[in-house]
Structure formats: structure tokens, C-alpha cells
Amino acid sequence: MVIQTDIAILGGGPGGYVAALRAAQLGARVTLIEQDRIGGVCLNVGCIPTKALLRSAEVYRILQRAESFGLRLEGGIVPDWSAIQARKEVIIRQLVGGVEKLLHRAGVRVINGRGQFITPRTLAIEKAEGTLSVEAARGIVVATGSRPIQLPLPGIDLPGVIDSTGALGLEDLPKRLLIVGGGVVGVELAEIFGAFGVQVTVVEMLDRLLPQMDADLGAGLAWAFEQRGVRVHLDSRLERVDAGPSGLLATIAAPSGQVTVEADLILVAVGRRPNVENLGLDVAGVRVERTGIPVNLQMETNVPGVYAVGDVTGVAPLAHVAMQGGEVAVENALGHPAKLDLKTVPWSVYTDPEVAGVGLTEAQAREAGYDVVAGRFPLNANGKALTYGETAGFVKVVSEARYGEVLGLHLIAPHASDLIHEGGLALALEATLDELITTLHGHPTLGEAIREAALECRGAALHLPH
């Protein structure tokens, strides 16, 4: 059987399903091939389940200190891990079901199976009942995502060594958890399990947590973790895992020497690898590098009419980047010129407090040759943060000296993932400090701290002593 379509999409995660919806919106016949579950990693075993568990952790933390708000909880509050997991599953089903309905109503043909290129415009689809082919007149989008990296270390295959997918599906909480990797995934999972009483240790090879973000953010999060009893080993790496008498023994090379950490589970969260194998990319002539499939700003590969979006490209492995990349890819394939602008990509980490950044870090701005001026404003001087009882954080604006152009915004604060978009808009409009300062910010709000940080770039923050 041969299916004729305008756009064929390999992968139904955020990049793939959004590409399908946008292409259908533009009037194209669309075929989406997904070998597992619609929604991909993000909806099923990534962003959404993690945030559901993080919300339960956040509510639990707040209730634990209810007395500081003048409230008494008679009898205390007890976390029910099985109920927390059940709530997570309800949210996943609702979102996945919603996406499936959107695809159906948009007229997208969804095929459950595994696809491979047999020509640059034709895919062979392996299904249980046989093989069919899909011929795409206008283009093919590769959106096959990524998978966790496994470390080639002795003992890494022992029972009890898990990845992020395994961690999100645990039926019972461990007493001791070692997390290898202090990036976004590692710190969010440290937040979840630490909140529910698990003794958590984080090992990060580089000199700070969240190494891809501004250095001050990683330092601020490490401080917050340590206040809550999460142990953090920086400049350290896992060397081996052994079975111990009452758990796993992790041998860690630390600055002070070799350290042994005993844990019930070891979670490896050191990054993800693009899914490029067994797709027939070589048959189609698509270039593949170690980091993924290289694309241009139009999301097109070296082969005209073949596009790649999301984690499989190795660029900014974030669901929102995949989504917009999917839109850009099909718009170009269907004759609507578009580009993906990575300048305004926000990075958000849903710890307590949240961490977010957009644009250049202070170090990146200096490396780029700017005469950098940075302003910080602490949340303990912000009225809304005080009423929240959440003052362990700050806002940092990075600008350049000559014109005051805003180069980056970085926050460690409640709702940082929502506040960060003001920085993205400033970057998109090439705004200066003057625009941030003259824009009225409501009072009392957390957003006021952004204006104060912009003022502090000029040594003029009104709510700081000088």
C-alpha cells in the first residue's frame, strides 16, 4: 500500500505533532508516524510528569511550613506517593488524549509504526501487519527525539541504576538516592525526591550546578539545596558502581580525593543522545554528526525537502524549541519562508525556587567582547516575595555599557519560568535598559524586581541601599 501525502513526519513528540498541526492548518495533507505514544518523551516521560511531581513537592513543602503563615495543620501532613503518581498519570492521559483529538480534528493521518527513508521523499513504515510506504510531495520532517545517555562505567548495568524514565515511574520512594548529573533533569529530580524525605546526593562533573546557565544561578541553587540537606559534589565524577551489603556503592572522584557514597538507587542524568539510528538517513543522503542532524535556520538538512526538528538536531533540547522548529519546518516546506531565532530561547528549571534564563550569560557576554554591565536585585527586598515567604533568590540583568542594550535576563525566584518572558521580549525587540525601566511594573509583584535589577545596572535601584 502506498500513501500519498504532502508532508510526512517521523515522530509524534512536541516537534512532530506541532509540525503536523501547523501543516494541516496551512491546508496540507499530513501523515504522522509514531512508533510509541503520541506526545513523545515530553508528555509521557519527561516535562509533564516531572512538573506534576514537582507541583506535589511544592505543595508539600508549603504545607510543611504552614505555621509560618499563621496556619495550623492538626495532625500533620503525610505524602502518599502512590496517590501522587496516580495524579501524574491522570494529567498525562488528559494531555495525550487532547493532542490525539487535535490531530484527528485537523485531519492528520496518524500511523503507529516505525519509519525509514527509502528515498529522500519516501518512507517505508514497518507495522505488525506488514510494510507500507508513504510518499511525501512537499517534504519530510524528522522529529525522532532523543534518549538518555548511559555511562560506560563498571557496574553501571547493576540493578538499581536507573535513568530519568525509571525515576519518574518508581512505585516506592528510596531512602537514599545518588543523582549523577547536575543539569536540568538532575536538579529537578533532586527537588522531587528531596522534598519527600529521600536523602539525595548530586554529583556534577563541572564546577557548578546548571552549567549551561549563568554561573550565579547554579551557585544560588546549590545554596538552596544545601539548606534543605541535599548534598552536592561539584568538580566530581562517578568512577564505578559496586553492589554493597545494603545497597549500591558509588565510587566518586572528588577534589578532596576518592569518596564512596552508599545509595539504594543511582540515577544517571548526564544528558541525552539523538535518535538517529535505523532511520535510513544514509539512504536519503542526510548528513548526521555526533551531536545529531545539522540543520539551517529553516530547519532543513543538507538534503532539500528533508527537515529535522527538536532533540534529534542536538540544538537546544527543549520542547518549546522543538515545537517552534516544527512550525518553521513545515512552513518552509509549504512555501511560507520562516526562520527559527534561538536568541530568545528561555531555559527554565522547575526547582524550589525556580531558575530561568534567556539571552547571554554574563560570562558569554564578556567572551563575545561586550563591555558588560550587570545588575542584581535580591528578592529579600521585594514586597511580593516577602508576602510569599520566598526570599531566597534574585534577578540579574546583563547589559552592555555603551547603549544599555539588554543582553540577558537571569532569575532564581518563584515563578521564574513565567517571569522570564519579559527578557525574551526585550531581546526580540533589542530593548535597552531604558525600556525595562520606563515600563510600569505593577506593585506588589515579583516582576518589579526585573525593573530594579535594570536600575541597578546604573547603580540606581531604588529599594537597595547605596
Question: Which of the residues are catalytic?
Answer: 443
- Tell me how far CA of residue 73 lies from CA of 76, 81, 196, 308, in angstroms: 6, 20, 18, 52
Distance between CA atoms of residues 296 and 306, nearest Å: 11
CA proximity to 217, closest of 15, 413, 415 = 413
Distance separating alpha carbons of residues 106 and 29, to the nearest angstrom: 10
The one-letter amino acid code at 130 reads G
Position 453: which residue type?
Answer: A
Residue 76 CB partners (closer than 8 Å, separation 6+): none
Quick one: 344 exposed, middle or buried, by C-beta within 10 A (0-12, 13-18, 19+)? middle
CA distance 431 to 287: 38
Q: Which residues contact 263 (CB under 8 A, 6 or more apart)?
A: 160, 174, 176, 177, 178, 201, 247, 248, 250
Torsion of CA 438, 440, 444, 448, to 10 degrees: -40
Beta bridge partners of 374: 398
Closest residue by Cα to residue 300 from 269, 264, 337: 337
Cell numbers 515600563 correspond to 439
Which cell is 179 given?
543523582
Distance between CA 267 and CA 181 in Å, rounded? 9
**Among 227, 223, 184, which residue's Cα sits nearest to residue 204?**
184
Q: Give the pairing of strands 306-308 and 161-162.
A: unpaired
Helix axis angle, 81-105 relative to 47-64, nearest 10°? 140
Q: For residues 156 and 159, give the distance between their C-alpha atoms in angstroms, rounded to a whole number.
A: 9
Separation between Cα atoms, residue 190 and residue 349, nearest integer Å: 12
Half-sphere exposure of 308 (CA within 13 A, CB side): 28
The answer to whether the beta carbons of residues 249 and 240 sit under 8 Å apart is no
Pairing of β 265-268 and β 161-162: parallel
Whether 250 contacts 163, CB under 8 Å? no
Question: Which one-letter DSSP state was computed for residue 270?
Answer: S
